[in-house]
Amino acid sequence: MATILENSSEMRSATIDQPVLIHRFVFHGKGKDLFDIFIVNLLRTIATLGIYSFWAKTATRKYLWGQSEFAGDRFGYHGTGKELLLGWLKAIILFGGLIALQSLIRFVDHPSAKILSEALFYIGLAFLVPLAQTGSMRYRLSRTSWRGIRFTFRGDYTPFLWLSLRGYLLTALTLGGYYPYYHCNVRRFMTEHSYFGSTPFMFNGKGKDISGIYGSIVGVALLVSFLAAGAAIWLGLFTLLLLLPALGIIQVWFSTKMRRYYWNQTSFENCVFECTITTKELLMLHASNLFYLIITLGMALPWVKVRTMKYHLEHLRIQGALNLEGITQQAMTAKDAGDQLGDLLNVDGVFG
């Protein structure tokens, strides 16, 4: 159903005997169903003074995963609310411990206590954020299945911590110049340690390319800001109001470029991912979402979520002959703390 034989002559000339197969993602979710889930979640969360929120999150994920289809089969979500609750408790202890330690040092009556407590907080964060990043990948992938086979994340904390610390340090030393390379390294680490069953994903992206995207974006943003400043001087301050939407458009343009680049550099066995989102469509999506949210006072949130997910999923596809022979189940246990630590620290899921 979702596997379509593409017959364009252009593609045929590229690979002479083998037909190029396109495997598509489909999202079947409906705003109405998600709205129902949200309402029930809301009631139970209130009735339990918030404790149900972990089960609510699980119910929502179960629905979203189950409505996502790849090559004719739905994904499955296997996490539980109890895992999220326990994970949250552990994350609170870790993060809360850091905050408590910081506050304690602050009370010490010494001139350098304040600086020390501040420094301790950021050093602690530098260690916790990578833990949250790997932890949430490990948890989410291990609880996701397709055709009964689990995904896994096998990246260890220690090498990722070194990668991150090096990234923070070099970014600071190069006044941000190293950041695109660090960003690309994180993506590589995350992708290459992700497995479907026994087979890993592969990543071919280069920091140099990301650096180019960042460079062009910073250049355009600066140019626009200068133009706006100039216009403000000649035409009046009201032109500055145009700067905000202009920067918003640049931001969408940037995230489109990044997303496309990262996915297009990702492969699995001899199939490559292809991301076909465009800045224009994404802008339209964001603008209409914002409009719906405003006129419904936020009630349109489930529909907005569904539209966004549908757009992103259905603009991602896999090209090539997908050979699933030889892939076997290699499910692994995963700690439950990572996911919630990620939530607490507001660490985004690495795969957007």
Q: Given the rule CB under 8 A, which residues bind other proteins?
A: 28, 30, 33, 36, 39-40, 42-43, 45-47, 49-50, 53, 56-57, 62-63, 66-67, 72-74, 76, 88, 145-150, 196-197, 324, 327-329, 331, 340, 343-344, 346
Return the half-sphere exposure (C-beta side, CA atoms, 13 A cut-off) of residue 227: 11
Of the two residues 33 and 192, which places its CB atom closer to other proteins in the complex? 33
Quick one: 42 or 222, whose CB is closer to other proteins? 42
CB closer to other proteins out of 186 and 327: 327
Smaller CB separation from other proteins, 253 or 269? 269
Smallest gap from residue 95 Cβ to other proteins (A)? 9
Min CB(332)–other proteins separation in Å: 9
Identity of the residue, 89 or 165, whose beta carbon is nearer to other proteins in the bound complex: 89
Q: How far is CA 295 from CA 30, 93, 197, 291, 301, in A?
A: 20, 41, 45, 6, 11
Determine the Cα–Cα distance for residues 265 and 259; give it in Å rounded to an integer: 10
Q: Which is nearer to other proteins, 121 or 166 (CB)?
A: 121
Compute how many other C-beta atoms are within 10 angstroms of the C-beta atom of residue 304.
Answer: 22
CB of 49 to other proteins, least distance (A): 7
CB of 157 to other proteins, least distance (A): 22
Residue with tokens 């910073």: 218
Take residue 288 and report the two structure tokens written for it. 């209409």
The answer to whether 332 and 288 are in contact (CB under 8 A) is no
Q: Cβ of residue 265: shortest distance to other proteins, in angstroms?
A: 24
Taking the complex as a whole, how short is the minimal distance between the CB of residue 82 and other proteins, in angstroms?
16
The number of helix segments (H) and strand segments (E) in the chain equals 12, 11
Q: How far is the CB of 249 from other proteins (least distance, A)?
A: 27
Q: Are strands 194-196 and 266-268 parallel, antiparallel or unpaired?
A: unpaired
- Kindly report the backbone phi and psi dihedral angles of residue 72, in degrees, each rounded to the nearest multiple of 5, phi listed first: 90, -5
Could you count the other beta carbons within 10 Å of the beta carbon of residue 295? 9
Q: Which CA distances in Å does 208 have to 172, 174, 214? A: 18, 15, 10
Q: Is residue 217 within 8 Å of 250, Cβ to Cβ?
A: yes
Spatial distance between the Cα atoms of 123 and 91, rounded to a whole number of angstroms = 17
Q: Cβ closer to other proteins: 73 or 209?
A: 73
